[in-house]
Structure 1
Amino acid sequence: MDTSVVIVGAGPAGLMLAGELRLAGIDVVVLERHSQRTGESRGIGLATRTMEIFDQRGLLCRLGDYQTSDMGHFGGLPLDVGVLGAAHQAARTVPQSVTEEALEAWATELGADIRRGHTFRSLRDTGKSVTVRVDGETGEEEIEARYLVGCDGGRSTVRKAAGFDFPGTAATTEMLLADIRGVDLEPRMTGQQTGGGFVMVAKLAGGVHRVIVGERGIPPHRRTSPPAFAEVADLWKRLTGIDISHAEPVWVSAFGDATRQVTEYRRGRVLLAGDAAHVHLPAGGQGMNTSVQDSYNLGWKLAAVVKGTAPASLLDTYHSERHEVGHRMLANTRAQSLLVLGGTEVQPLRDVLSELIEYPEVARHLAAKVSGLDIRYDVGTGTHPVLGRRMPHLPLVVNARTTSTTELLRPGRGVLLDLADNAVLRRRTQGWRARVDTVTATHGALPDDSPLAGTSAVLLRPDGHVAWAAPGSHHGVGTALHRWFGPPSAGHPRGARP
């Protein structure tokens, strides 16, 4: 093999996956057709769950100065995400270019081989390896790897070459986007309905404003290049009455409301992550955040399979877990599309939903949905409220040192958190100590309504999701360890129920 894993695409999904694989010691080659970063920023924010993930890998300090906010929206209707009480707020002023730069620096420092100016052409999956043909800076070459992951966006060539089915609906309308300088516009962060369409304004760093504008009833253009800024300015004036034609365009683009998702995230030794697996209206920036979270789910699983500590069937859980997340995201972005792009016939629905959002339960439900905090994976039966969910930030004391669940996840390994000083539990999990860190810790008082109240032990996967908890799981810790981390090392018991 030339390398263990080839990743096609050096966007957020590809770079996050490269970092996760290198954190686990897996050699990886990233192929990117652009010879240098474009500087374009389709996404301009990081959701609450993505902020948690970046903190769990120590990446927040790489993002520079950024602003946070608890205010979000659902289909243009203001939504207070702060009702969730998460440790992090969403970052509203982090351009995708900054996110990519931070992830690339992290992955490179860990030893990822990132090859720019390399265009993917074809693949051959033999069942034992994947051979990738690329056009590089010095001509055509082939790279053999154990696995190939397509992170190459909505028009993924890897997806097409591997024959993935990509059903869904084509775009019915189009939105125009421009980052501009030289104007001072009032922010409209959640967007605004106009007589003939929808407009949005966001202030970015460096005196740049992002404007997004869409006109109802106009079918999407079949474009082969970005729209001219004059087209954006004309439409903006038509819908708002404001002339921005004198502004300096930094970047102009267009996007639609096409909604598609592959039927499977894995075919043999080829996997897909990010926009290569799902496309949709970019409502609230969920696309980039879901893409990063795809890779966060896949990275540790693929690393374990490559190392041979877990069976290849572990990769099946990548599909079952993330396909469901993608399916639900497409459903909520479709709903938001109706609210944003619909005409006067949708106004009664907007009015009713605005009333419902005032109820705390509704606000929490929608906030969790758009922030990525509503995800619950199938990790087995049980009654504990955090089973399958992401572990919230919890301050801890370990050997008289202050730490937290967030800090314990930094190495990218599993963590068995012993909160009751249970020697029997620690002894019965020795067979996994090469893959899972067992930590005996204490924590401060928890509120009575805390989902962790009364918890004596928690098993965390490397992605921070709870795989087992006591009391409340209907199977032993050994079963959970075997399922997520493979069989115990030779010479150790199989982890009977503690």
Structure 2
Amino acid sequence: MQRERFTGAQAVVAGGGPVGLLVAAELAAYGVDTVLLEPRTEVSDQPRATTLHARAVQSLARRGHLPRPPSRATGPATSAFHFAGLPGLTIAAPPDEPEPVLKCVQAVLERHLEARARAAGARILRGYHLTDAVQDENGVRVTAEGPEGPELFHAGYLVGADGARSTVRARAGIESDTFPATVSALMGTVTLADPEALPKGWHRTPRGWIVVKHDGVRTHLRTLDCGGPHPDRHRPVTLEELRREVARIAGRDIAMHSPRWLSRFSDFARLARTFARGRVFLVGDAAHVHFPIGGQGLSTGVLDALNLSWKLALAVRGSAGPALLGGYDAERRPLARRVLDGTLAQLALMRQGPEAEALRTVFTGLLADEGGGGHLSGLISAQDTVLPDPTGAGGPAAGTYLGNTTLSTPDGDTDVIRLLQDGRPLLLLLGEKADGLREEARDWADLLRIVEARPTPGVPYEAALLRPDGYLAWVPGNGALRQVMTAYFGPGATAG
């Protein structure tokens, strides 16, 4: 017999990977009554994503999920990154920002985010597999198979963070553009009889690629064969298959034993045609899947979660402008498509054959002239992202990301990262018009954080309205602050 529980939940999140847990942690921190359903009974230690790139790192720091960066008076921090295995590429972050590439084991990140979500009041239900979701104009009815049988949940909104085979996406009737597999890849953790037989790094031969990462006595291997997809992608991988594939690509036998986490994958790609339908939203792999070259999957999902969460929280609280939730799909889907295109370009550079070899040679020369890969750095790190201005009145900097900078206020020195950690929109007043702008924003005083600061080169405007995710919504120029506030946050306290 089906039982009903948590009928008053304001949001249900399906999927307890890092992206789903981040959504749950963010929504709960905003005071949204949130339930997360996850089939796994515990966090898996299987090696998965390990890389967070600059814009994701910066955004997580602004929400307090990562520590503030240390002061670096010596200038920008730089980190190496990979694009199709090409050497010599670097990502730079400004001096007051965190390191531009953060290595973090996915299991560690999941445990951290689950603790944050639980501490904020989210209900994390493990052993629950979502089986159905039906929405109407008032909410979403979610059916899940739990430890004691099927259970029914009612929520105002549903967020699908349930992976590439998303049940939420299917039940919402959201179609996808798909790109069939063209390559075959294997992955696993083993112990090499001679660790020096395969040095760490990217190994390219006429027969394919081997990527090697040593972790103490264990070695994490990935192979890539561009000759075509595997005829049976569901067949379990054996140690012997991985050993043969490594030997074929390397051109010599590499002795290995004690396998763990063996799996196969391909370059199959998917992009949902919309990331939102009614009261249902998709984030992470439920919305987009691409070949994991370049390590962008986790960062892209993190940015989905941070973009959606504050908008959804304001909608739950009745403080969202009429088009605010629609901005999630408009902002994130084009960026996910850009990531997918970038992975397709990397695979084109990694294939075998004279055409690919010529392309790689030309591309390497172009990067040498560019000096470290500036365009590719922006592509991988997302630091060149400019969001569309949904109001048309946000001014010349609307949609750009405000870098961290020290601000001198009547209460002492602070910075942008500190001021955004409570999750509220931030109105910075740095000029002579402070009193007038404070009055203009008076109807949203309970929603906003308003801070007066001395003018500084780090914020080259008399005033600035920041969204909770760190992007500028308004600077003086094209339109009135009140117009933008109304578009983002509704009519304010004087409605009616």
> What is the distance in 1 between the residues matched to 2:383 and 2:265?
27
RMSD: 2.4
- Of stretches 396-405 and 224-233 in structure 1, the one that deviates more from structure 2 is 224-233
Cα distance, 1:157 vs structure 2: 1.3
Q: 1:17 — aligned with what? A: 23
- Of stretches 97-106 and 217-226 in structure 1, the one that deviates more from structure 2 is 217-226
1:475 to 474, 479, 482: 479
- Describe the SS at the equivalent of 2:325: helix
> What is the distance in 2 between the residues matched to 1:312 and 1:385?
23
1:427 to 439, 447, 453: 439
What TM-score, normalized to structure 1?
A: 0.90
AA aligned opposite 1:391: L
Cα distance, 1:239 vs structure 2: 1.1
> What is the distance in 2 between the residues matched to 1:400 and 1:269?
41
1:155-234 alignment, distance < 5 Å: 155-182=165-192, 184-185=195-196, 187-189=199-201, 191-204=202-215, 206-224=216-234, 226-234=236-244
Contact preservation (8 Å) 1:310, 1:486: yes
User: In 2 relative to 1, CA 89–340 (structure 1 residues): closer, same or farther, beyond 3 Å?
Assistant: farther
> What is the distance in 1 between the residues matched to 2:100 and 2:220?
18
Contact preservation (8 Å) 1:150, 1:159: yes
Cα distance, 1:343 vs structure 2: 3.3
- Describe the SS at the equivalent of 1:167: strand
Q: 1:337 — aligned with what? A: 347
> What is the distance in 1 between the residues matched to 2:322 and 2:125?
27
1:73 to 61, 73, 82: 82
> What is the distance in 2 between the residues matched to 1:280 and 1:152?
16
AA aligned opposite 1:462: P
Contact preservation (8 Å) 1:461, 1:484: no
Cα distance, 1:478 vs structure 2: 1.1
> What is the distance in 2 between the residues matched to 1:118 and 1:108?
17
Contact preservation (8 Å) 2:429, 2:450: yes
User: In 2 relative to 1, CA 382–349 (structure 1 residues): closer, same or farther, beyond 3 Å?
Assistant: farther
Cα distance, 1:402 vs structure 2: 2.0
1:146 to 151, 156, 173: 156
Matched, 1:398 2:404: no
> What is the distance in 2 between the residues matched to 1:37 and 1:85?
34
User: In 2 relative to 1, CA 317–136 (structure 1 residues): closer, same or farther, beyond 3 Å?
Assistant: same
Contact preservation (8 Å) 1:83, 1:363: no
Matched, 1:352 2:356: no
User: In 2 relative to 1, CA 335–457 (structure 1 residues): closer, same or farther, beyond 3 Å?
Assistant: same
Contact preservation (8 Å) 1:264, 1:319: yes
> What is the distance in 1 between the residues matched to 2:92 and 2:21?
32
1:276-425 alignment, distance < 5 Å: 276-311=286-321, 313-360=323-370, 363-379=373-389, 380-381=391-392, 386-420=397-431, 422-425=434-437
Contact preservation (8 Å) 1:356, 1:362: no
**Unmatched 5+ residue regions in structure 2?**
1-6, 69-76
User: In 2 relative to 1, CA 242–405 (structure 1 residues): closer, same or farther, beyond 3 Å?
Assistant: farther
Cα distance, 1:247 vs structure 2: 3.5
Cα distance, 1:83 vs structure 2: 4.4
> What is the distance in 2 between the residues matched to 1:213 and 1:476?
55
Matched, 1:458 2:461: no
> What is the distance in 2 between the residues matched to 1:84 and 1:365?
14
> What is the distance in 1 between the residues matched to 2:157 and 2:352?
43
* TM-superposition CA deviations, 1:324-374 (whole Å, max 9, x none): 111111111111111123433211111111111123488222101101112
> What is the distance in 2 between the residues matched to 1:246 and 1:199?
14
Q: 1:65 — aligned with what? A: none
2:494 to 490, 493, 497: 490
> What is the distance in 2 between the residues matched to 1:98 and 1:168?
31
Cα distance, 1:445 vs structure 2: 4.9
- Describe the SS at the equivalent of 2:87: strand
1:117-136 alignment, distance < 5 Å: 117-136=127-146
- Of stretches 306-315 and 28-37 in structure 1, the one that deviates more from structure 2 is 306-315
Contact preservation (8 Å) 1:35, 1:117: yes
Contact preservation (8 Å) 1:84, 1:364: no
> What is the distance in 2 between the residues matched to 1:244 and 1:229?
12
- Describe the SS at the equivalent of 2:330: helix
User: In 2 relative to 1, CA 272–444 (structure 1 residues): closer, same or farther, beyond 3 Å?
Assistant: same
Contact preservation (8 Å) 2:431, 2:462: yes
AA aligned opposite 2:30: A
> What is the distance in 1 between the residues matched to 2:295 and 2:34?
28
AA aligned opposite 1:426: R
Cα distance, 1:491 vs structure 2: 7.6
Contact preservation (8 Å) 1:395, 1:443: no
AA aligned opposite 1:479: Q
* TM-superposition CA deviations, 1:251-306 (whole Å, max 9, x none): 22221111211111111111111110111111211111101110100000011111
AA aligned opposite 1:128: N
- Describe the SS at the equivalent of 1:134: strand
* TM-superposition CA deviations, 1:235-259 (whole Å, max 9, x none): 1111114544434323222211112
Cα distance, 1:222 vs structure 2: 2.6
Contact preservation (8 Å) 2:223, 2:246: yes
Cα distance, 1:310 vs structure 2: 1.4
* TM-superposition CA deviations, 1:169-205 (whole Å, max 9, x none): 111112111123455255554x33211111111244x
Matched, 1:33 2:39: yes
- Describe the SS at the equivalent of 2:296: helix
Q: 1:438 — aligned with what? A: 450
> What is the distance in 2 between the residues matched to 1:136 and 1:477?
49
- Describe the SS at the equivalent of 1:489: helix
> What is the distance in 2 between the residues matched to 1:382 and 1:128?
32
Contact preservation (8 Å) 2:131, 2:143: yes
User: In 2 relative to 1, CA 373–278 (structure 1 residues): closer, same or farther, beyond 3 Å?
Assistant: same
AA aligned opposite 2:489: F
What TM-score, normalized to structure 2?
A: 0.90
* TM-superposition CA deviations, 1:420-472 (whole Å, max 9, x none): 252111121111111110111136555xxxxx4x31111110111111113xx
Number of residues of Structure 1 aligned to a counterpart in Structure 2 = 478
Matched, 1:5 2:11: yes
> What is the distance in 2 between the residues matched to 1:402 and 1:33?
46
User: In 2 relative to 1, CA 440–123 (structure 1 residues): closer, same or farther, beyond 3 Å?
Assistant: same
1:48 to 48, 54, 57: 54
**Unmatched 5+ residue regions in structure 1?**
63-67, 447-451, 493-498
AA aligned opposite 1:81: T
